[in-house]
Structure 1
């Protein structure tokens, strides 16, 4: 039964393929006939066809461009212009601030340089005068001012060392009470010589000094009274005896009172010279001996030569 069913199917497929083979030559002939009927294009026709193709391509490109432009933010140009103006304004402000900063920095550097120059000039002058003052007060000592940091004088401070007569160099912390007083007075006198003032007030500067040093300091202050006025509080007679005026302070019945004395009037009444007059006489004698010891003009000229 199966064999009988397969027989008719195979016969039908073979018959359809045979029919297709019979129709294929007919179709080929029809295609060849249609190709023979196609017109032959001239060169002008080809150019016209190419122009039409180009026009179609241009139209497609323009359409694509229009579609792209439809999604562009037109306000971006205005925003860019606003941001650009803001940038230009900020850049101008920056340039102005930078110029002010440079000017301020230049002025600051000039002030720092001026401060250093003025300080070093004063430091050198005060150091030289300090040596002279300390040598005069102590009759042979020496003193020195040194910068702790020579590269930056304002960072660390100043070191003050002295060498009392017949002793070694010492710092202020290692000196006795009298030596500290003499060192401080020498520094004060050097500072006053560098920048003098018309009035000085000193409170018991001789309290820790012996008789000899009190006399030395008192006579030096007497010499300085030609250019300034000194108000000195003292309990040492060899100090206040050289004064031009004495003001005594005392207390009675819990009330403080004062009395002013002119030593010259009392000395004139007693017929004796005052301590100030004796000091002035010694100062005048010292100046006269110093001028007499100096060489004459001719000798000075020869010495200079």
Structure 2
């Protein structure tokens, strides 16, 4: 029995106890629900991480293989490859592009000429396109910095790509326009 300050029995003690007990049971149930939901979410996160790891690993392997082939086609005698910055943790790793044009010992992209950088970037794009084909691609002046020899090599890759996809290429280069199935011209007024 509960006594109030004056030493008397509190007649509402049972009701207060029942209310507190009900509140305690409600909160205990809610806490268990939250713990179960947290566990379920962590399980979902683990499943998603495993799927991301699988998809990324497969895509990386495919793109790396394609990049080596595409780079060799664009830079005959050269060597290009992709490297993981942290292969032990595939969920947080980065990817480095290593490019060595023929006759050069450098591998860092920052040391390449502007045309070599452009061609390496296009090689990466084409490698992704070939590894994971899409019904169409849009390219905006990707060949603008290329000389005639490298442009011809790139156009050879475009020919391969368009065997399974449609290409929309925005260009000022006549050789690119010459291989097109359809041309659309855009002009600007003088003013």
TM-score (norm 1): 0.55
Give the 5 Å matches for 1:289-300.
none
- Cα distance in 1, alignment partners of residues 173 and 19 from structure 2: 87
- In 1, Cα distance between equivalents of 2:190 and 2:15: 92
CA separation of 1:73 and 1:228: change in aligned 2, threshold 3 A = same
Is the aligned partner of 1:245 residue 2:176? no
**Counterpart for residue 110 of structure 1:** 47
Say whether residues 1:89 and 2:17 are aligned partners.
Answer: no
**d(CA) in 2 for partners of 1:222, 1:124:** 24
Change over 3 Å in CA distance of 1:78–1:126 after alignment to 2:
same
Alignment gaps of 5+ in structure 1: 1-69, 256-305
TM-score (norm 2): 0.84
Query: Alpha-carbon deviations, 1:200-225, whole Å to 9, x = none?
Result: 22222222212111111112212322
In structure 2, the partner of 1:120 is: 57
The structural deviation recorded for 1:119 is: 1.1
The aligned length equals 185
Could you tell which deviates more after superposition, 129-138 or 215-224? Answer: 215-224
Contact 1:161 1:169 (8 Å CA) reproduced = no
Residue number in structure 1 paired with 2:3: none
Q: Which has the larger radius of gyration?
A: 1
**Cα root mean square deviation, aligned:** 2.3
What stretches of structure 1 move > 6 A for 4+ residues in a row? Answer: none
Asked if the contact 2:71–2:123 (Cα under 8 Å) also holds between the matched residues in 1, the reply is yes
Which has the larger helix fraction?
1
The corresponding residue for 1:254 is 190
Alignment of 1:232 with 2:154, yes or no, is no
Match of 2:142 among 205, 217, 239: 205
1:160 to 94, 97, 122: 97
- If asked which structure has higher relative contact order (CA below 8 Å, sep 6+), I would say 2
